[in-house]
Chains A and B, each alone.
Chain A
């Protein structure tokens, strides 16, 4: 190609706008002067543009439903090379791909012909979307190697492991038949003989894998294949199997696998061994007996919790035909503690084989020994003594302590004491000093404590009882379980007190209860504060922003200005208008009524949305003791440009290779300077504040700019208004005061809509605004009543810095005065900008007045 396609496009588009053919011809000739190839191209494009086209001019808007529904499950076939064989999808290495069998968690399974050996094989290819991820790739190859090491009748054979540069793949035996899952879906519960036959074969396959040091980790009906005709069991998809020596990944604590069949130790992210597979096998047997999985639930988390804490419904309640001895076998496999289970797959295999023989030929095959059932500890029964032989434990401990005694004497000794005395430690805390938390054991209350407490208990099941005062209710209960060796910490968050949780020897548990205020009645001090706020603003609670609101706000601003001898508004060195906000009290957060309305609106919303909506509770009185200046507008592109020109600052987005946009995106457009800057991270906003503080400070007067705290932002936004928005509760009026829910690709110029009572613009919508605080869902329950800010690093990677006010492209509810969104501080958020606050009086003047 000897012309520039972009030039061709541009000339073509300009020519298209011209009305007559003659004009177009002249224009093209002029534009392409001296470039005959370009001219020919543009002329061809123009000629083609005018010619009709049967295909292109009738977009494919209608299609046959059956054809759609029959389309193969999604597979990207870009990695295949073309093949000459008719009907083939393509070629991969020496294999001709015939069709797609399925798509699993990490890979695609293809049916293929091995052209050399002329046999049909199945090829599992790492899904292309994972190919770029080195960890996934490594894991896939490790899976392949691990699985290839096992050769057994009941394990799918691996023929080869390949890597076609783009994607690694694994060639294996092609099983013609169905999966156990498909069989259960069709048939429901199976007959006794069939259950035993299938269970026995799974156990045999597992036993072979376990001898190679492998744990399958994902035993479930979908991974058990049944060969057509003979119905021989083949275990497939060692998708998550890893050598148990490979501590590297185990330690990362990532939960992988299907929760319904997962063992409790796997669910808790603890290291697993072969006995984890035996739990899953038990779960599969349970499903075969009853036709349904042992642990159901609405979400993965709910299932995980049930796997850890619940006992499934007794099999005999669901299927009376299952004999007691089989129920006991399943129970023993599904024991919560690995040491209570049957210990090896071989043992299970032999047991099931004996029972099968006995069932088929009761006369010749003797009845196998019955297993002892395990006691299921409940609150009404004493927990069983731990069956682990004591001697073994001490031997291990001697070895371990030998190493650790030098480095960790204090830490270890308390744990060691717990452990060696076969005890566990529970510490618990409720921030409300007058509400007691009770730990209930099998024989009644073992501890009752207000504030912080600790108790040493024997292992067993314990429950929690919390009876908060009438004005409080339980907000959340964190149960953190810590074991020392191997060191592990898992936390579960609950919204009501747990009936029973299992505590093992040597563990320490941290229990943290938080409360929220219920509106039934408020405690005396809260009541006082609330009535105080309400009293001073009783005229301002109307739904519509009456002129009184603005009058009152203006009066407060003027009083404050006089008192501190400051202007109500001023323009700073970069042309930014700042408005004085007087000190005062307000109710921060959303009322129960507001949240109830919102909850209904957000019933179908995402978890994140509901979490954000819920995090604006409880509503609580806050006093800001100092006046401050706040930007009348969001920081504009022009102001940000001044900062960048002065410092050559590069924003997070500009430093990141992958960012799709930077704040500069809007610069070439004329008039962009008065759009709010957006696409910047919290760090960028802070850098701006630091620069501005420095550039306006002198020896004599130090000026301090910052992001507003959440409390400052909400107070300034409300302007005395307690309704959902600063103008009232009716979202239909939102368009008068802010931009939300628009589909424009960028925010609008600042100050286009009506201001709030304090004279601030775009508090609702346009760009969402970064605040100083970290987002913390508990903060409101414990927040100080004066000048609150949550700035301490929460050490929680999932948390982020608060973003307020919603955005032009966001939903209306996001722009409410109380809504607290959040994002990672280093993340350039497309729709986020900021406004600044300046503290008053300036630092130096404070010194001077002293």
Chain B
């Protein structure tokens, strides 16, 4: 049994520490996948977050899935968290460059198409999301999956075991909540 499958089993069996072990594995797999794509194809290409996460899933789990447990939800939740961290880290790095905080000025082109051209706003959003998670974990989970991995709300619903309508309602609420939080602070 590979590591990830084993951890998914352990989570399923109520092991509280297991979830923490899942995240780094998926995180590193996502990085590796990106590196491989970079090596085999043209440089500076853009990647679809959703496709990447699904590919990681196929590579790490699917050979031995699905079986007697509901591993998909845990996997995608961890993948969303991993994507969030990668994006936030990238936004931080960008911000540091902007403020001249690093000695070696690395030439960075637009790393993340569109949204993270405004890294400050993304970091604010992330701070707000952390607060939301403390108040309403389900809504925050929907945001992570939808926003950071680009999954459709249908897919988010399937992963979290809720109907599309419910996923949509959770998203609407979370979206308003986050927007209020960010705008209330600025």
Interface residues in chain A, defined as those with a beta carbon under 8 Å from any beta carbon in chain B: 5, 9, 12-13, 16, 44-46, 48-49, 51, 53-56, 58-69, 71-74, 76, 86-87, 103, 128-130, 132-133, 604-609, 656, 658-660, 741, 743-745, 768, 803, 806-807, 809-811, 814, 821, 823-824, 827-832
Option from B49, B63, B69, B89 in Cβ contact (under 8 Å) with A62: B49
Judge if B137 is at the interface, Cβ distance under 8 Å: no
Option from A86, A133, A811, A830 in Cβ contact (under 8 Å) with B101: A86
Contact B31 A605 (CB under 8 A): no
Judge if B185 is at the interface, Cβ distance under 8 Å: no
Using known A-B contacts A16-B172, A74-B24, A74-B28, determine if residue A811 contacts B161 with beta carbons closer than 8 Å: no
Contact B179 A56 (CB under 8 A): yes
B181 to chain A, nearest CB (A): 10
- Interface size class on chain B is 35 or more
Interface flags, B24-41, vs A, CB<8A=1, else 0:
100110111011011001
List B residues 45-103 near A (Cβ within 8 Å). 45-50, 52, 63-70, 72, 82-83, 85-87, 89-90, 96, 99-102
Which residues of A have CB within 8 Å of B86?
Answer: 63, 68, 71
Q: How distant is the Cα of A609 from the Cα of B71 in the complex, in angstroms?
A: 15
Option from B14, B46, B65 in Cβ contact (under 8 Å) with A659: B14
Contact B17 A51 (CB under 8 A): no
B3 to chain A, nearest CB (A): 10
Using known A-B contacts A48-B179, A74-B24, A803-B68, determine if residue A132 contacts B16 with beta carbons closer than 8 Å: yes
Contact B28 A61 (CB under 8 A): no
Which residues of A have CB within 8 Å of B2?
Answer: 606
Which residues of A have CB within 8 Å of B178?
Answer: 56
Contact A87 B66 (CB under 8 A): no
Extra inter-chain contacts (13) besides given A45-B177, A65-B34, CB under 8 Å:
A49-B176, A60-B83, A61-B48, A64-B45, A65-B41, A68-B30, A69-B31, A69-B38, A74-B85, A86-B96, A608-B9, A809-B69, A827-B14
Q: How distant is the Cα of A58 from the Cα of B118 in the complex, in angstroms?
A: 13
Using known A-B contacts A53-B175, A74-B24, A810-B66, determine if residue A61 contacts B49 with beta carbons closer than 8 Å: yes
Which residues of A have CB within 8 Å of B66?
Answer: 741, 809-811
A458 to chain B, nearest CB (A): 41
Contact A606 B1 (CB under 8 A): yes
Q: How distant is the Cα of A773 from the Cα of B118 in the complex, in angstroms?
A: 61
A489 to chain B, nearest CB (A): 25
Interface residues in chain B, defined as those with a beta carbon under 8 Å from any beta carbon in chain A: 1-2, 5-6, 9, 12-17, 20-21, 23-24, 27-28, 30-32, 34-35, 37-38, 41, 43-50, 52, 63-70, 72, 82-83, 85-87, 89-90, 96, 99-102, 108-116, 118, 121-122, 125, 135-136, 139, 146-148, 150, 158, 161-162, 169, 172-173, 175-180, 183
Which residues of B have CB within 8 Å of A807?
Answer: 68
A658 to chain B, nearest CB (A): 4
Contact A608 B64 (CB under 8 A): yes
Which residues of B have CB within 8 Å of A656?
Answer: 14
B71 to chain A, nearest CB (A): 9
Q: How distant is the Cα of A441 from the Cα of B77 in the complex, in angstroms?
A: 57
Contact B118 A63 (CB under 8 A): no
Using known A-B contacts A62-B48, A63-B111, A745-B161, determine if residue A809 contacts B70 with beta carbons closer than 8 Å: yes
Most buried by A among B14, B96, B102, B122: B14
Which residues of B have CB within 8 Å of A609?
Answer: 1, 64, 67
A396 to chain B, nearest CB (A): 42
Which residues of A have CB within 8 Å of B111?
Answer: 63-64, 66-67
Contact A660 B14 (CB under 8 A): yes
Using known A-B contacts A73-B28, A87-B102, determine if residue A63 contacts B112 with beta carbons closer than 8 Å: yes
Contact A606 B122 (CB under 8 A): no
Q: How distant is the Cα of A123 from the Cα of B58 in the complex, in angstroms?
A: 36
Which residues of A have CB within 8 Å of B20?
Answer: 128-129
Contact A9 B89 (CB under 8 A): no
Which residues of A have CB within 8 Å of B179?
Answer: 48, 51, 53, 56
Using known A-B contacts A63-B46, A67-B90, A67-B112, determine if residue A13 contacts B173 with beta carbons closer than 8 Å: yes
Option from A5, A76, A830 in Cβ contact (under 8 Å) with B69: A830
Contact B24 A63 (CB under 8 A): no
A788 to chain B, nearest CB (A): 24
Using known A-B contacts A62-B47, A132-B17, determine if residue A72 contacts B89 with beta carbons closer than 8 Å: yes
B170 to chain A, nearest CB (A): 9
10 contacts between A and B (CB under 8 A): A44-B180, A60-B49, A65-B34, A65-B44, A71-B90, A87-B102, A103-B24, A606-B5, A660-B14, A809-B69
Option from B72, B87, B147, B162 in Cβ contact (under 8 Å) with A63: B87
Which residues of B have CB within 8 Å of A607?
Answer: 1
Using known A-B contacts A63-B49, A606-B64, A609-B64, determine if residue A68 contacts B34 with beta carbons closer than 8 Å: yes
User: Of all chain A residues, which has the CB nearest B145?
Assistant: A59
Which residues of B have CB within 8 Å of A49?
Answer: 172, 175-176
B164 to chain A, nearest CB (A): 12
Which residues of A have CB within 8 Å of B96?
Answer: 86-87
Q: How distant is the Cα of A133 from the Cα of B20 in the complex, in angstroms?
A: 12
A669 to chain B, nearest CB (A): 13
Contact A62 B113 (CB under 8 A): yes
Q: How distant is the Cα of A86 from the Cα of B135 in the complex, in angstroms?
A: 32
Contact A60 B180 (CB under 8 A): no
Option from B89, B118, B136, B150 in Cβ contact (under 8 Å) with A61: B150
Contact B122 A129 (CB under 8 A): no
Contact B48 A60 (CB under 8 A): no
User: Of all chain B residues, which has the CB nearest A45?
Assistant: B176
Q: How distant is the Cα of A50 from the Cα of B161 in the complex, in angstroms?
A: 27
Contact A60 B115 (CB under 8 A): yes
Contact B135 A5 (CB under 8 A): yes
9 closest cross-chain pairs (CB), A and B: A61-B150, A129-B20, A745-B161, A606-B64, A68-B34, A604-B63, A69-B35, A606-B1, A86-B101
Which residues of B have CB within 8 Å of A821?
Answer: 68
